[in-house]
Amino acid sequence: MNPVRTLVDKLKAARKQSAAQEEAERLAAQEAVQLELSTLERYARLVEAVTERKRAFETVTSRMELEAQPYTVQSAAKTLCDNWAQLPLVINSLSASQCVAKHKPALLNELELQLIGGAETELRAFQDANSALLQKHGVIP
C-alpha cells in the first residue's frame, strides 16, 4: 500500500475519531446543562408552591379572623333585650365564639402544618439533595 495513502487514511480516521469524541463531549455537556435546568425549574416550582401555600394560609387565617369576631355578653344581652325569640341564636353564637377562642391557637397551628408544612418539607429535602447545584447558581447561600 502507498505510504502517503496510509497516512491520509490514518489522518482521516483520527479526524473522525476526534469529531466523534467532540460530539460525545458536546452531548454530555448538553445533557448536564439540561439536568441543571430541570433541577432549577423543579426548585422554582417548589418555591412557588410554598409561596402559594403561605398565601392560602394567610387568606384562611384572615377569613377566620373576620368570621371569628368575639360575640360578647353585651351583644348577647342587647339581642335578647330586643327579641327574646333570638335566645337559641344567642346561645349558639356565644358557644361558637367561646369554642373558636379556645381552639384558635391549635387550629392555626394545624392549618399551618397541613397547608405549608408538606410543601416546605419537600422543598427542604430537594434543597438538601441538590445543594451543590443550587449554590453554584446562587439560588441558595
Q: What is the 3-state secondary structure (H, E, C) of 34-100?
A: HHHHHHHHHHHHHHHHHHHHHHHHHHHHHHHHHHCCCCCHHHHHHHHHHCHHHHHHHHHHHHHHHHH
Q: What percent of the chain has pLDDT over 70?
A: 99
Q: Domain residues of the chain, as ranges?
A: 3-136
Structure confidence at residue 88 as a pLDDT band (50, 70, 90): confident
The CA distance from 37 to 90, in Å, is 60
User: DSSP class of residue 117?
Assistant: I
pLDDT value at residue 37: 94
The CA distance from 31 to 38, in Å, is 10
Predicted TM-score (pTM) above 0.75:
no
The whole-number average pLDDT for the span 49-72 is 85
User: What rounded mean pLDDT belongs to the chain?
Assistant: 88
Structure confidence at residue 4 as a pLDDT band (50, 70, 90): confident
Rg (CA), the chain: 33
CB 80 within 8 A of CB 90: yes
pLDDT value at residue 32: 92
